[in-house]
Structure formats: structure tokens, C-alpha cells
Amino acid sequence: MKKFFYLFFCSIFVVFVGLGFVGCSSSEVDKVSKNLTTYAISASLDDEKKEITASEVIYFYNNTGTDLEEIYLHLYPRAFREDATIKPYTALTMATCFPNGLSYGDLNIINVKVNGEIKNHKLAGEDEDILKINLGFKLTNKKTVEIVIEFILTIPNCTHRLGFYQGNINLGNWYPILCNYENGEFQLSPYYSTGDPFCSDISNYKVEMKYPEKYKLCSTGKIDVKSDAGISTATISAKAVRDFALCLSSSSEIVSTNVDGVLVSYMGYSYDSDLNANLSLAVDTLKYFNKAFGKYPYNSLSVVKTPFIYGGMEYPNVVYISDAIDDESEYQKVIVHEIAHQWWYSTVGNNEVTEAWLDESLAEYSSALFFKNNPKYGITYDDFVSSALSSYLLYVDVIQTIRGEVNTQMNLAVNEYQNDYEYSYMVYIKGVIMFDCLSDAVGEGKLLSGLQKYYKSNKFKIATKTNFYDAFESACHKDLKNFFEGFLNGTTIISSIN
């Protein structure tokens, strides 16, 4: 995700002063798609009610390393229900989130079947946004079980990851998805308002979505659309992806081109004059990151302009860019940042709840590298970094003055940050400073080599900071753990422009 954090200082100042897949042909993706969980979702949109009725078949492949009797899935849309106590928005973001006034969403489970038998299911988790399924038997490691979940999704009228507004429908984090299994248990973290509080294993997807013909659709995976009697049916396939998101738009055009075997698309509003310019930026970004970090392994990438509460949001093969961004340079920065997430978050995964810095700081610094190597966009690396540094120093100074102390840790879990500002300054902006310091210390060549090793070694996995340290130790032939830990723990003091 990308926030408008260069605008944040203005905001914070005011606040404080005033107060059968066809999707991927690449052999690499084909190879890793074996022995994965498969989601097969058949869904239909009722456009009047803004409801989706769906049947989701999960062929769950147990690769947890242990036998299981229970399975847990996130029901993220339930965070939008009226009685949710942990909501994905805050009092400060509500006006942006609900331009038409407060609206609720929900996900109601109709029934659950395990290997064809209807099973009792329970809502679980801190805020009843987890589906707990008792299998009724012990699922051995490396074995598969078929789970069928029938559900109705109510889409809220809002500009969030899940929401509809002004002719667009964002479908992010919209279906029951398996909780990741880590440290011997399923991770049941709720849908926090800070950061992108998600973590999921790569899986295969086959999705069929029915919707009124007036909508254009972009999504994860390869899309085949047929229309009949005013209804479009999209058949979508994706292999070895971490999540599956869609965006429907009734007022957009899609422009596309093929680059190195990847279908790159940009969906913007029909009246926009910059459709091809933004497509061209997406192509340049894909080409540069392919060269700098390692090849993008999938065969589609879509950039979608849509109403969105923050600057942008990343999903596998598809990213949202907020239509509220008026400034051209800011819009370009968000496109590049979100595409960088295809390397950091999507292909190389990480736990975005507990180690958000790992993908966000990398996505942001990757943007600085892109603009350095693509000077035609008129955004210089030096400006990018010095803007981050001066903004960071000012933030630290203001908070220190007002509160008498300031948290400068980058490595907190998203729910441990006091607010979105603290999270953004520490995770994104300080991350840029950290990587710029590293570049000064080891040289850009070794920094890129470290990132290439991190990418290559952790593709399709969920990486941790240990994997990250290992990659840089291998690239730089020195132990950089203390360097990184100093920034992450807040013990390294950043005091002036270097």
C-alpha cells in the first residue's frame, strides 16, 4: 500500500497544531503450482443490492508439516459489518472512506461442506472475523481436503479495498482465505486499520464472475470475458499467486500491450488523456525491475485507477491507484511503488502484520531506484531521498517536541503503531533512508546484488528478516545485521543530511 505520506506532514502539522489453468505458461510458475491449495470460486454480482453470491471450493493441500483437525479462514469483509469492533478505517479516515456517508458490508456464511458433508462451522478470532472449520477427521500432512463454502458478500458503499463508489467496485480481500500457518498455529490476526494486515501462502485460483455487461474488469490472473444478454462472465485463472483481487468499472477504458511475455494493462477513466502515458510508465517499471531484481514470473500485470482511500494498493498481478491523486508526479510514484510490490509482497511474500517494513520499505526504495534509472520522469533520486530525510527529521522533531518522546522503531507489528502517521514515517520513509545509507556504505551494485539474492532465494515463499539479512550477507560478504537492527530498533539516530 502507498499512503500520501509526503502530504502527511501537512496533515499532521494541522492536526497537532490545531490538533485447468490458462493463466500462466511460464515453466517457473507451472513448477511451483504443483501441490498448492486451489481456490475455485463461482460468483455472481447483484448490482442493485451490491451483493455477491458465491460458492467457493477450496482444495486445501496441507503443507503445514503437521496433521490438522481444524482449519481457519479470514473473513475480512466482516470487518465492515455494523457491530465490528476492529474496523479497517479510523475516525480520521472515515470521511475519505465514506464520501456518501457511513455504510456497512458483511460476509455471511450460508453453509460449509467438507468432502461433501455439511459441517458445523463457527466464527472465531478476536472480532469474529475468522471462520473455524472442524474437519471431523485428522488431515495428514501433504494430503488434500475439499472444502465448499457458500457465502453472500455485501459490499459497502466506500472507497476502501472492498467497496463501491461512483461506478467502480473494488473487490480486494473479499472471499474466505486461509489463515497462514506459522509457528505451529494458524495466524488469526484481525483486519487492522493500519498497514496492509495480511499474509497468505501462494495458491492457485480459478474464478468465474458474473456481472452486468456495462462493467470492465481487471483482476489477478488471465481473464477471458464472454457476454450474453447484458451479462458478462469472466473466467479467470491464476497459478501460484498470494491472493486474488478484482476491480469492476463502468466508466473505464483498458489499454494493453505485451512486454516480454507479460500482458501489461492500464485501466483508467474513459475521459482521461493519460491512459497510454500511464501504460508506458507501467511498462518502463516492469522492465526496470525485471533487470534490477529478477524477472517477474507471471504473465499479466494490471494497473487500475479507482476510488481508493489511500494512494494505492497491491495485489498479485493487479494494483489499485487512487483516482483522488491530482498531482502527476505523485500519481507516477504510486504506480511505481505498487508495481514494486509485485516483487516485494507478491512474489516474495512476508508477514505484513508483523514485518510490514520488509515489503513497504523495499517498495518505496525500489521507487527511488526506478526514478534514478528513468530520468525522463523528472523525479530525481536525490530529491526522492532528501525529501524523505527532511520529512522524517521534521516529523521526529515535531513529535519529540509535543510528546517529549518519539517512537522510531520500524519493526513493530502494524497494530503496535499509535497511528497511520507513525506507521508511515517509520515503515516507508525511514526505510528509504535506511537503504540510501546502505547504498552509501556498500555501493549500489552490492545493494542490488543483495536484493537479487533475496528475490531469487525467497520467490513464492514467505520471507523473514533473517532471510533478508542472509541475502545481504551473501552479497556484501559482511554481517550487516547490526546495521539493519539499528534502524529497525530505533537505536541508530538519524540526525542530518548525509
Q: Which residues bind to Zn ion, rule: CB under 5 A?
A: 1-2, 360, 363
CA–CA separation, 426 and 409 (whole Å): 6
Q: Residue with C-alpha cell 458445523?
A: 120
CB of 420 or CB of 470, closer to Zn ion: 420
CB of 1 or CB of 36, closer to Zn ion: 1
* Contact of 451 with 34, CB cutoff 8 Å: no
CB of 128 or CB of 360, closer to Zn ion: 360
For the chain, the three-class secondary structure string (H helix, E strand, C coil) is CECCHHHHHHHHHHHHHCCCCCCCCCHHHHHHCCCCCEEEEEEEEECCCCEEEEEEEEEEECCCCCCEEEEEEECHHHHHCCCCCCCCCCCCCHHHHCCCCCCCCEEEEEEEEECCEECCEEEECCCCCEEEEEEEEEECCCCEEEEEEEEEEECCCCCCCEEEECCEEEECCCCCEECCEECCEECCCCCCCCCCCCCCCCEEEEEEEEEECCCEEEECCEEEEEEECCEEEEEEEEEEECCCCEEEECCEEEEEEEECCEEEEEEEECCCCCHHHHHHHHHHHHHHHHHHHCCCCCCEEEEEEECCCCCEEEECCEEEEECCCCCHHHHHHHHHHHHHCCCECCCEEECCCCCHHHHHHHHHHHHHHHHHHCHHHCCCHHHHHHHHHHHHHHHHHHHHHHHCCCCCCCCCCHHHCCCHHHHHHHHHHHHHHHHHHHHHHHCHHHHHHHHHHHHHHHCCCEECHHHHHHHHHHHHCCCCHHHHHHHHHCCCCCCCCC
Rounded to a whole number of angstroms, the minimum distance from the CB of residue 360 to Zn ion is 5
Q: Residue with C-alpha cell 484481525?
A: 190
CB of 363 or CB of 480, closer to Zn ion: 363
CB of 281 or CB of 442, closer to Zn ion: 281
Rounded to a whole number of angstroms, the minimum distance from the CB of residue 336 to Zn ion is 11
Q: Residue with C-alpha cell 494494483?
A: 319
CB of 133 or CB of 363, closer to Zn ion: 363
Rounded to a whole number of angstroms, the minimum distance from the CB of residue 78 to Zn ion is 24
Rounded to a whole number of angstroms, the minimum distance from the CB of residue 354 to Zn ion is 16
Rounded to a whole number of angstroms, the minimum distance from the CB of residue 464 to Zn ion is 18
End-to-end CA distance of the chain: 28
Rounded to a whole number of angstroms, the minimum distance from the CB of residue 420 to Zn ion is 13
Rounded to a whole number of angstroms, the minimum distance from the CB of residue 463 to Zn ion is 16
CB of 225 or CB of 324, closer to Zn ion: 324
CB of 71 or CB of 363, closer to Zn ion: 363
Rounded to a whole number of angstroms, the minimum distance from the CB of residue 341 to Zn ion is 6
Q: What are phi and psi of 31, to 5 degrees?
A: -65, -45
CA distances from 119 to 66, 109, 134, 286, 313 (A): 22, 12, 7, 45, 35
Rounded to a whole number of angstroms, the minimum distance from the CB of residue 1 to Zn ion is 4
465-476 vs 444-458: helix axis angle to the nearest 10? Answer: 130
CB of 2 or CB of 446, closer to Zn ion: 2
Rounded to a whole number of angstroms, the minimum distance from the CB of residue 495 to Zn ion is 27
Rounded to a whole number of angstroms, the minimum distance from the CB of residue 368 to Zn ion is 13
CB of 125 or CB of 431, closer to Zn ion: 431
CB of 73 or CB of 319, closer to Zn ion: 319
Rounded to a whole number of angstroms, the minimum distance from the CB of residue 288 to Zn ion is 17
CB of 360 or CB of 422, closer to Zn ion: 360
CA–CA separation, 358 and 362 (whole Å): 6
